[in-house]
A = this chain, B = another copy of it.
Amino acid sequence: MEEKNYDQRRERLLELVQERRMKALQQELEDMNEFDIAAFLTELGEEDQKRMATVFRLLSKERGAEVFAELDAPEQEAIINSITDKELGDIIEDMYVDDAVDMMEELPANIVKRVMLTATPATRNLINQYLRYPEDSVGSIMTAEFVDLKKYMNVRESIARIRRIGEDKETIYVCYVTSGDRRLEGVVTVKDLLLSDDEAVIEDIMDSNVIFCRTTDAREEAAERISDYDLLAVPVVDKENRLVGIVTVDDVIDVLEEEATEDFDIMAGITPSDKPYSRTGVFEMWKRRIPWLMFLMLSATFTSMIISSFESALAKSAVLTGFIPMLMGTGGNSGSQSSTAVIRSLSIGDTEPSDILGVVWKEIRVAVLCGLALSCVNFVKMLLVDRLLLSNPDVTAMVAFTVSATLIFVVIFAKAVGSTLPILAEKIGIDPAVMASPLISTITDAVSLLIYFTMATFILHI
């Protein structure tokens, strides 16, 4: 058991690079795993891409391909630009096709062209076929490297086949049983094989009730299957039910993390992207953030209009203005609690769009409880703090009552809208995450004001 991670090793490696002790560096790298080497190269590349490429070329052919697959697009590009066509061709052939496709989707067109030219015709065809699957589909994340068996084989033959062809497969632990015309007939795990008799026939030990996906399914479907059924991989079939690939659990973890990041982005009014924060430039960040800010700023015209139309009333009873931010803030927060809870519940499959009535009824009851609690505390607070402590004589009991009564209705409205909109969005096929706090707040802002001024008109006769 050696070092926990590469942090302790970093200094030593950097020293070796500085002193150009390439032989020692090569030995050191041989002991490391691909992920740590990729992290180290990325760090080197931030300072000097040439040097990174030099260090990369110290790796053996096979390690090279593995490490290459772990790198991000900018480093991959730098390396491609500094190696020969022969070396590039070797790397592409050694990469799993899903990793190669991921890379192609990120690289600039001229580099993609060079990569395609160095690949063998078979690999080129496969990559082209994968690139045609829609982005975010199961087809675009699957890999073609799986072990297939026939149902008439016995366990001994199957294990022999795994030993023969297993080296380059993304997983050998789940094997798929296919018919002559490549239709998926069953699934058998290496555990099943090892725990069965050598002479047992695959047909008898395979599970013919296979959980699978289609190439055109959304990639979240593959993630859901693997996560729900605790699988190591899920097979992917085309329209003719022929087995064309598999999605493995490690790819699914990446999908889940990307989907969660995407939801966080959308819910904060940011156009989502696959690029991590640290690698996104200032101008690109601006482009991803300005649309929602602009839209929400312009829609605030409605709140301005509402306030303008009550301007004379507000001038008479100026004390009311001071509580507008609190009412709008509480409305926004109440609404975003509901929308976030519902959006998340929809996205993990805990709530179905058909539950809409149940969800709204639950939210309204929660809203009544929240509204009453906030309202009571606010009433006491306005009289004790605003009236007595801050000695503002304009804060009368009637004003406090108006604000507190408004609060209840604002909270109920906000939670009802916050829970309804995401479900309606899902029903009509829009991503529910769009219906998150920024949008809900803008709606509740306007409605809160209307409720406030209506209450004030009734109670205070302004």
Measuring CB to CB, which residues of chain A are less than 8 angstroms from any residue of chain B?
Answer: 1-5, 31-33, 35, 159, 162-163, 166-167, 172-173, 183-185, 190-191, 194-195, 208-212, 226-230, 232, 237, 241, 249-250, 252-254, 256-257, 260-261, 263-265, 267-270, 276-278, 282-283, 285-286, 289-290, 292-294, 296-298, 300-301, 303-305, 307-308, 311, 314-315, 318-319, 321-326, 328-330, 332-334, 336-337, 339-345, 348, 350-351, 355, 362, 365-366, 369-370, 373-374, 377-378, 381, 385-386, 390, 392, 407, 411, 437-438, 441-442, 445, 449
Q: Is A209 touching B31 in the complex (CB atoms < 8 A)? A: yes
If A283-B369, A324-B325 touch, does A241 touch B336 (CB 8 Å cutoff)? no
Which B residues are in CB contact (< 8 Å) with A260?
Answer: 256, 260, 344
Can you give 28 contacting A-B residue pairs, CB < 8 Å?
A1-B210, A1-B212, A1-B241, A2-B210, A162-B194, A227-B250, A232-B232, A249-B253, A256-B260, A264-B344, A268-B341, A269-B333, A276-B345, A277-B350, A282-B366, A286-B366, A286-B369, A290-B369, A290-B373, A294-B373, A297-B330, A298-B377, A300-B325, A304-B322, A307-B321, A308-B319, A329-B441, A437-B437
Which B residues are in CB contact (< 8 Å) with A297?
Answer: 326, 329-330, 374, 377-378, 407
Question: Nearest chain B CB to A285's CB is how many angstroms away?
Answer: 5
Which B residues are in CB contact (< 8 Å) with A350?
Answer: 276-278
Q: Is A268 touching B329 in the complex (CB atoms < 8 A)? A: no
A1-B184, A268-B341 given; 16 more Cβ-contact pairs under 8 Å: A35-B229, A172-B191, A172-B194, A190-B190, A249-B250, A256-B260, A261-B344, A261-B348, A269-B337, A277-B344, A282-B362, A286-B370, A297-B374, A297-B378, A300-B326, A300-B330
Which B residues are in CB contact (< 8 Å) with A407?
Answer: 297
Question: Nearest chain B CB to A238's CB is how many angstroms away?
Answer: 13
Q: Is A301 touching B268 in the complex (CB atoms < 8 A)? A: no
Question: What is the bound-complex CA distance between A209 and B37, given in angstroms?
Answer: 14
Main secondary structure of the interface of A (DSSP, over half): helix
Q: Is B294 touching A377 in the complex (CB atoms < 8 A)? A: yes
Q: Is B285 touching A304 in the complex (CB atoms < 8 A)? A: no
Interface centre among A2, A184, A325, A341 (most CB of B within 10 A): A325
Q: For residue A5, which residue of chain B has the nearest CB?
A: B211
Which B residues are in CB contact (< 8 Å) with A211?
Answer: 4-5, 33
Question: Nearest chain B CB to A246's CB is how many angstroms away?
Answer: 15
Q: For residue A297, which residue of chain B has the nearest CB?
A: B330
